[in-house]
Structure 1
Amino acid sequence: MKRRLGVSIYPDHSDVTVDEAYLKKAADYGFSRIFMSMLEVTEGKEAVATKFTHIIHFAKELGYEVILDIAPSIFDELAISYDDLSFFHQLGADGLRLDVGFDGNKEAMISFNPYEMIIELNMSNDVAYLDNILTYQANKPMLYGCHNFYPQNGTALPFDFFMKCNERFKNQGLRTAAFVNSQVGKMGPWDINDGLPTVEMHRFLPVEVQAKHLFATNRIDDVIIGNAYASDDELNALSQINPYQVTFDIEFVADVNPVEKEIVKTMQHYRRGDITDQVIRSTEVRKKFKNHENKPHDHLQMFQKGDIVIGNDQFGKYKNELQVVLEPHQDERKNLVGHIIPEEQILLDFIYPWSKFKFNEK
């Protein structure tokens, strides 16, 4: 399933010209889906229709998929019914995210809406909600899953619980989404906004590290910036991510040599299938560079987790093998060539036997 990046906008709190500029900029960076909140509408059906039709059609012209976040109160506010989604279809939306669920039968019924609108389900509970909906023979191709975000510091999901929630949806092959937090965005749906991540450990991390972590789980297909508006630098950083394999940001040591830099930066690395606890071994590279000299340097210290080391001329057949350190150890036959930046060491947990990975100089 192709992976995507998305942004969020809040038309009931924002200026439409600012939203348009933001959506245009994000589209230029390759973003392709929008979370658009309708939870705060209070202006009446006609005014809401005018406002949302304009911004949705603008987004669609830029190639976005647009999902509206709705709750039962919205239907009461607009005097419409879940049994008739024509209002949202006329707005131009591609789908609806149900912030609050029903009895399973209702979700199954509306998944057969005549407009083929996507019905996006709340993923942030480890209960049999999805199983119940599917029991009622829902229109499965029209179902997505999307996590919540959490504006209050300390209230987002623990990572282990997040992963348990994901399994229910990925086991059914559904498209999934979760939110990351811009470190400069100030706008969300409510008056409290300590950031809008899905996972609590992400709240204060750089946004690209959050996204890398979500993609590395292989359980999230769409990563959406929860708050508005992300900076140009954040949009650019996210656009540079490879969503299909871990790419570590690294810093080289001062004495790294050209051969070592070439090994690190230009090769497709993968972890050996017969793994070890001490290091992640990328062994194929030594075959290509077996005739390249590599004198010892930075080889006498204790190597630490996240260090990148390469076998030097003292290492015999293992010369120029690249390793990523998982456990502290010392070996003078290896040169220290760089370090994975501290924030990205959480990604090491997702380098399994045969996992592919690359490096990017920070």
Structure 2
Amino acid sequence: MEKGFSLYLGASGFREDQYTYMQTMSEAGFTVMFTSLHIPEENGGEREAVLKGMMEKAAKLRLEVVIDVAPDALSVIQSLRAKPTALRLDHGFSVKEMTELARCYRIAFNASTMTETFAADLQNAGVDPAKIEVWHNYYPRPETGLSRDEVKRRNERFRAMGFKTAAFVPGDKELRGPVKAGLPSAEDHRSWAPYAAARDLTDELATDLVMVGDPGLTEHSISSFQSDEARFRAEFDAELSEAERTIAGLKHKQRPDPARDVVRSEPSRSEAKKHNLQVFPRSVSARRRGDVTIDNENYGRYQGELQLVKTPLNDDPRVNTIGQITESDLPLLDLLQPGEKFSLCAKDRQGK
């Protein structure tokens, strides 16, 4: 998964904690950084110095930098010693200006304005399609993001034109104001965990580059991106037995023949048998989507099998429910591939 993050400039300048965040994200495998020169007019005189500091830090970390820029800010870009990798062009550029800029930078266009006719105009002007990227907007206001179907439809069309596609997922720590409701491209992703939204973009919605729109991710999300592994946060029953706790803490892998109703952990049953773990029955209830279950001794040779419930199921005295996956991680249930690894971790009181 090609992935990037966002940092935004402000009147306070480039802060040391932002550089620390850049280092953390770089170490986690993020290779692209996005920022914008749309700074309030009263800070316009400071933006060159602020951006210069950010660009020099990015160069040390070997990050590719994409800057959202309007025509009146080109002079700031040209004054930089450390140049950006790509420019995301705002309104106001002519095809001739875009062609000239494409000689020095990759150019990222707004997905809402890219058409076959415009693409043909660019190529007729001599712009190499390999230097063109198409980026979806992010949508700060709830209820205004794109549908997942629309993102997929557009991305498939852009790919057919030979263009790289990019879209945004929300953060889950520091959210950008003033709305502070996440910065996704697809509305459904606003309530999803960032890694789940990213997997959906790349696995299902024909997206080449995933960008975190908000300027902050939790340690859990950073770790998920770094390992590229589904790490389900779950609230576990307070009275787990030692056998149940041991099975839940295993490194799991979905079976190569995925079930319709549940995610089955391939190694859990054999590990339980190997270590003579006995799972005693407990009180039962109907199984909800996201429940974490373990088959108990009443299920015979299936004793110890851990499952994640994808569709609601009736109660079964042979199956213990030991926990519930946090809601924002639930979409990962449908994205796990045959044979894919996953793990479970206890969420804290804030659900992180």
**TM-score, length-scaled by structure 1:** 0.75
**Are residue 198 (structure 1) and residue 185 (structure 2) matched?**
yes
**Are residue 144 (structure 1) and residue 142 (structure 2) matched?**
no
Aligned partner (choices 91, 103, 110) of residue 122 of structure 1: 110
Deviates more, 1:43-52 or 1:275-284: 43-52
3-state secondary structure, aligned to 1:241:
helix
**Are residue 237 (structure 1) and residue 220 (structure 2) matched?**
yes
Q: Indicate the residue corresponding to 2:277 in structure 1.
A: 293
3-state secondary structure, aligned to 1:293:
coil
Shift of 1:66: 1.3
Q: Deviations over 1:48-86 (max 9, x none)?
A: 65553343223322433211112xxx32x2577xxxx98
Shift of 1:9: 1.0
Shift of 1:150: 1.7
8 Å CA contact 1:44, 1:78 repeated in 2: no
Q: Deviations over 1:308-338 (max 9, x none)?
A: 1112112122222222112222222222122
Residue pairs, 1:308-319, within 5 angstroms: 308-319=292-303
Query: Using the alignment, how far apart are the partners of 2:172 and 2:264 within structure 1?
Result: 34
Aligned partner (choices 315, 326, 334) of residue 349 of structure 1: 334
Query: Using the alignment, how far apart are the partners of 1:36 and 1:79 within structure 2?
Result: 14
Residues 1:295 and 1:68: Cα distance change in structure 2 (over 3 Å): closer
Q: Which amino acid aligns with 1:14?
A: A
8 Å CA contact 2:167, 2:185 repeated in 1: no
Query: Using the alignment, how far apart are the partners of 1:247 and 1:101 within structure 2?
Result: 44
Percent identity for Structure 1 against Structure 2: 22
Q: Which amino acid aligns with 2:85?
A: D
**Are residue 22 (structure 1) and residue 18 (structure 2) matched?**
yes
Q: Deviations over 1:122-142 (max 9, x none)?
A: 345796579747965853443
Deviates more, 1:160-169 or 1:132-141: 132-141
Query: Using the alignment, how far apart are the partners of 2:120 and 2:231 within structure 1?
Result: 38
8 Å CA contact 1:249, 1:360 repeated in 2: yes
Q: Which amino acid aligns with 1:350?
A: L
3-state secondary structure, aligned to 1:285:
helix
Structure 1: which 5+ runs fail to align?
none
Query: Using the alignment, how far apart are the partners of 2:181 and 2:22 within structure 1?
Result: 23
8 Å CA contact 2:253, 2:339 repeated in 1: no
Aligned partner (choices 307, 310, 318) of residue 291 of structure 2: 307
Please give the root-mean-square deviation of Cα atoms over the aligned residues, in Å: 3.8
8 Å CA contact 2:173, 2:218 repeated in 1: no
Residues 1:174 and 1:338: Cα distance change in structure 2 (over 3 Å): same
Q: Which amino acid aligns with 1:248?
A: F
8 Å CA contact 2:284, 2:321 repeated in 1: no
**Are residue 255 (structure 1) and residue 239 (structure 2) matched?**
yes
Residues 1:285 and 1:295: Cα distance change in structure 2 (over 3 Å): closer
Query: Using the alignment, how far apart are the partners of 2:245 and 2:116 within structure 1?
Result: 50
Q: Indicate the residue corresponding to 1:155 in structure 2.
A: 144
**Are residue 335 (structure 1) and residue 320 (structure 2) matched?**
yes
Shift of 1:37: 0.8
8 Å CA contact 1:145, 1:176 repeated in 2: yes
Shift of 1:276: 3.4
Residues 1:251 and 1:86: Cα distance change in structure 2 (over 3 Å): closer
Q: Indicate the residue corresponding to 1:96 in structure 2.
A: 87
**TM-score, length-scaled by structure 2:** 0.77
Count of paired positions: 336
8 Å CA contact 1:170, 1:176 repeated in 2: no
Aligned partner (choices 152, 166, 172) of residue 176 of structure 1: 166
Residues 1:317 and 1:110: Cα distance change in structure 2 (over 3 Å): farther
Aligned partner (choices 142, 148, 154) of residue 165 of structure 1: 154
8 Å CA contact 1:26, 1:235 repeated in 2: no
8 Å CA contact 1:299, 1:333 repeated in 2: no
Q: Which amino acid aligns with 1:196?
A: L
Q: Deviations over 1:265-301 (max 9, x none)?
A: 222311442x433222223432233242323233532
Query: Using the alignment, how far apart are the partners of 2:3 and 2:88 within structure 1?
Result: 17
